[in-house]
Amino acid sequence: MKKPFLIAELGVNFYDTARIENITPLEAAKKYIDGAKWAGADAVKFQSYKADTIVSKNSPAYWDTSKEPTKTQYELFTKFDGFGQAEYELLCSYCKEKDIAFMSTPFDYASADYLEDLIDIYKISSSDLSNIPFLGYIAKKKKPIYLSVGASYISEIDEAVRAIKEAGCHDITLLHCVLSYPTENKDANLSIISTLKEIFPDVKVGYSDHTLPDSNMTILSAAFLYGAEVIEKHFTLDKGLPGNDHYHAGDPYDFKKAVENFDLICEITGSPVKTVLPCEMIPRREARRSLVLTRNMKAGEIITPNDIMPKRPGTGISPKFSQTVIGRAVRFNLPEDTVLTWDMI
């Protein structure tokens, strides 16, 4: 069993850390990359957009405004759209130094273009699932695509997958996702991972998580057990920071725990072939039963059903051969409680 590819979704959380610590957003972003690498993530992911190309000025908020009081999407995106191609090139180089994959979700054609030389995988947001022209444009770049499928119907997912394939990309991973921040545990609906695998057998399936992290990172572990090959979760250095994503993100310790869980799951999953393991050989011999005499018997006496009883250890004749043993004569004088072997009868 192979561990899932774990993505630390940095999003724009580093902007808040930069403000709190009085450092530049670029310096904060590098701190986040360091934290994700320490935690064992395989990749970090940013979001590449400009407010003017992603949302109209009148789009209302759809998040928990008690945690992020910004009232419109435009206002929120304007706060965090300071990075462009130059900054992402620097961050990509920094990721290479740290040996962690660089990713960023493009939200417009310009970012899709400049990211082409920086990323190995295009991650597309649930919000663009129905943006068929955009999906086709990215698919023509012939790079693997991770597509989140939050807030969608199967018919819409099917249309998106068909469009991507028709444009020439066949390396597709669908990420089950619930577009609710935070996602309540009762809405996580991890069984959809199995559903997607069944309906779309020729693509890979993963999970993009928005639930609140628990101390054991149970939900990510469960997603892996359901078959998620890619797992993405928002990442922060401080879950107590105000802002749109910090409160439902995982911190480095949460991610480290998730990686430990993945390692443990891989270790305990083992092989689907049922056989006797080396560690079971001695217990198998000592804990199974053999036919054992219930009384002293003299050479030549015939064994009756009352003369034998199945007892441990399993070093003698197996009880499954009882009917073969009954009616035979013992070859030697044998004391009560003798474990019978074939050479004795």
Query: Is residue 329 located within the same domain as residue 295?
Result: yes
Count Cβ atoms within 10 A of the Cβ of residue 338 and give its class: 0-12 exposed, 13-18 middle, 19 or more buried: buried
Query: What 3-state DSSP class applies to 343?
Result: helix
Domain boundary residue among 269, 298, 322?
269
Domain boundary residue among 269, 292, 308?
269
- For the chain, which residues score pLDDT lower than 70? 63
Query: Is residue 282 located within the same domain as residue 263?
Result: no
pLDDT of residue 292: 98
Structure tokens at 298: 């003299």
pLDDT tens digits, 60-96: 887 677 777 878 888 877 888 899 999 999 999 999 9
Query: Is residue 263 located within the same domain as residue 307?
Result: no
Residues 197, 172: contact at Cβ < 8 Å? no
Which pTM was predicted? 0.91
pLDDT of residue 260: 98
pLDDT of residue 161: 98
Query: Is residue 154 located within the same domain as residue 292?
Result: no
Domains of the chain: total: 2
Domain boundary residue among 269, 304, 325?
269
Name the amino acid, one letter, at 16: D
Residues 147, 129: contact at Cβ < 8 Å? yes
Query: Is residue 322 located within the same domain as residue 242?
Result: no
Query: Is residue 180 located within the same domain as residue 203?
Result: yes
First to last CA, the chain: 49
Q: Within 10 Å of residue 100's Cβ, how many Cβ atoms?
A: 20
Query: Is residue 146 located within the same domain as residue 217?
Result: yes
Query: Is residue 53 located within the same domain as residue 167?
Result: yes
d(CA 163, CA 293) in angstroms, rounded, equals: 75
What CATH number has the domain bearing residue 201? 3.20.20.70
Query: Is residue 28 located within the same domain as residue 152?
Result: yes
d(CA 314, CA 287) in angstroms, rounded, equals: 6
Query: Is residue 165 located within the same domain as residue 139?
Result: yes
pLDDT of residue 74: 84
Output the DSSP codes for 11-62: ETHHHHHHHHHT--HHHHHHHHHHHHHHHT-SEEEEEE--HHHH--TTPBP-
Query: Is residue 309 located within the same domain as residue 187?
Result: no
Name the amino acid, one letter, at 314: G
What CATH number has the domain bearing residue 340? 3.90.1210.10
Which domain range does residue 154 map to? 5-269
pLDDT of residue 69: 80
